[in-house]
């Protein structure tokens, strides 16, 4: 009988978690983090580039992000990209340095961020469940083709379910941690 490799299923579930962590990184809490600007794209040299390819992103203090733009001609484009990113920040230009002070979050904004975090984690749960469905379909197909026995099918299906439960728990744990971070004043 064929040996079923579940490592691909685990890898795909892990990647759903990685995506969630990246999305959480872009959610602004009270503290400055360079990852806040990760998804900001700048129109430079005729194409759209990530901000970290046109300047150095730094965090000199807890409520301030700076972008040291390398090319003087791109300072305005970087400023516009940050303003258009919907982060609710007001960048200030100082030569080739752009300072981005982070205002403290209002209670209302914190609740909004928690809702967004819930949406991201639900998408991650759905992604994990989709991987489970694909894994179960593969097992059915293998059993139908007589490559695995019914008992092997059941055993592997239980393994896939266990993996799914573990990953959904990791998603829930990440959400709880992010929620706590957002609501912390």
Q: Which regions of the chain are under pLDDT 70? A: 1-3, 28-30, 185
Burial 89-114 (b: 16+ CB within 10 A, else e): bebeeeebebebebeebeeeebeebb
Q: Which domains does the chain have, with CATH numbers?
A: 7-24+106-183 (1.10.132.20), 31-101 (3.30.1360.40)
What pLDDT sits at residue 110?
84
Q: What are phi and psi of 66, to 5 degrees?
A: -120, 150
What pLDDT sits at residue 185?
63
* Longest pairwise C-alpha distance within the chain: 70
What pLDDT sits at residue 111?
86
Distance from C-alpha of 30 to C-alpha of 32, rounded to nearest angstrom: 7
Give the CA dihedral 55, 85, 185, 98, nearest 10 degrees.
30
What pLDDT sits at residue 39?
80
What pLDDT sits at residue 87?
75
Which residues have a Cβ under 8 Å from the Cβ of 14 and sit 6 or more positions away?
Answer: 167
Question: 117-156: per-residue pLDDT in tens?
Answer: 999 999 999 999 999 999 999 999 999 999 899 999 999 9
Strand order in the sheet with 92-94: 55-61, 64-69, 97-101, 92-94
What pLDDT sits at residue 30?
65
Strand partners, 93: 98
What pLDDT sits at residue 2?
53
What pLDDT sits at residue 1?
42
Which residues have a Cβ under 8 Å from the Cβ of 33 and sit 6 or more positions away?
Answer: 25, 59, 65
Q: Tell me the two tokens of residue 15.
A: 């990647």
Predicted TM-score (pTM) of the model is 0.67
């Amino acid at each position: 009988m064929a040996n079923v490799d579940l490592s691909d299923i685990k890898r795909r579930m892990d990647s759903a978690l990685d995506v969630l962590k990246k999305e959480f990184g872009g959610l602004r809490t009270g503290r400055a983090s360079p990852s806040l600007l990760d998804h900001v794209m700048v129109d430079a040299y005729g194409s759209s580039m990530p901000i970290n390819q046109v300047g150095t992103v730094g965090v000199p203090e807890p409520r301030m992000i700076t972008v040291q733009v390398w090319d003087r001609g791109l300072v305005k484009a970087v400023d516009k990209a940050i303003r258009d990113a919907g982060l609710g920040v007001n960048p200030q230009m100082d030569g080739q340095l752009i300072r981005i002070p982070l205002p403290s979050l209002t209670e209302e904004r914190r609740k909004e961020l928690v809702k967004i975090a819930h949406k991201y984690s639900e998408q991650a749960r759905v992604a994990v469940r989709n991987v489970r469905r694909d894994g179960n379909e593969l097992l059915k197909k293998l059993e139908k083709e007589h490559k695995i026995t019914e008992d092997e099918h059941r055993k592997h299906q239980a393994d896939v379910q266990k993996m799914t439960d573990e990953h959904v728990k990791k998603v829930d744990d990440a959400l709880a941690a992010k929620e706590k971070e957002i609501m912390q004043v």
